[in-house]
Amino acid sequence: MASSVSDRKKIHLLDLCCGKSYLTFAAHWYFTAVLGKETITVGVDLKRDVIETCTRIAEKLGMKGLSFKCENVSLYSPDFVPDMVISLHACDIATDYVLASAVKLGAKIILSTPCCQHQLSSDMKGDALAYISRYPILRQKFASVATDALRALILEIRGYSVTVCEFTDPEETPKNIMIRAVKSGRSGQVSEKISIYQDAKKDTRRNPFS
């Protein structure tokens, strides 16, 4: 954990696209019961029934500081700056909405595990990538990798120090890539990175933060 967060007594945590919220409950428990921190955690998802169920479970378990909101993550605006935004398997461009919101809200740490990166696959054009895109399975795999690389790059442009790693054994789930971004406020070689991003877009027509 970044030292700016681990040193704090009170933590503000957001789980965007929380769904059934297994991760939200586990993360809140970890920060409160294991690390002993006062923790405010909000899980956000579009599905009303799921949010109502999670709210009931949190109340039943007496999990202080844990709540859920039925909202679009792009519109959600908490009354705090999140120390950490987490997001597990927000499908396709929902991950882009999550990352854009996290940046907009000024999250200090972002942990995002994307899945189902379809959009770029359907958008891919350009002769430069034709030798890949003519094979559907390679097109899909390339699109996933390129999507996450562009996400990482734009987070760097926005002042985050970014690593991309496998968060669990691929045998557990193939959707095991995690984008880990820590706000540094420094974004070196911005113009160079913007050029790389724009060049990549020429072949992909993709702009997750537009």
CA distance 35 to 11: 11
**Integer angstrom CA distances of residue 124 from 92, 120, 146, 207:** 15, 6, 10, 12
Binding ligand SAM (rule: CB under 6 A), the pick from 26, 46, 128, 145 is: 46
Q: Which of 5, 13, 14, 18 binds ligand SAM (CB under 6 A)?
A: 18
**Residue 19 token pair:** 């769904």
Q: Closest distance between ligand SAM and the C-beta of residue 207, in Å?
A: 17
- In the complex, minimum distance from the CB of residue 208 to ligand SAM, in angstroms, rounded to a whole number: 13
Least separation in angstroms between residue 50's CB and ligand SAM is 6
Contact between 115 and 91 under an 8 Å Cβ cutoff? The reply is yes
Nearer to ligand SAM, 7 or 49 (CB): 49
Helices (H) and strands (E) in the chain, counts: 8, 7
Cβ contacts of 24 within 8 Å, gap of 6 or more: 15, 18, 41, 43, 54, 66, 68, 86
Least spacing, CB of residue 36 vs ligand SAM, in Å:
26
Asked if 114 is part of the footprint of ligand SAM (rule: CB under 6 A), the reply reads no
Is residue 58 involved in binding ligand SAM (CB under 6 A)? no
Q: What's the rounded Cα separation, in Å, for the pair 91 and 94?
A: 5
| 19 touches ligand SAM (CB under 6 A) | yes
Interface residues with ligand SAM (CB under 6 A) are 17-20, 22-23, 44-47, 72-74, 88-91, 94, 97
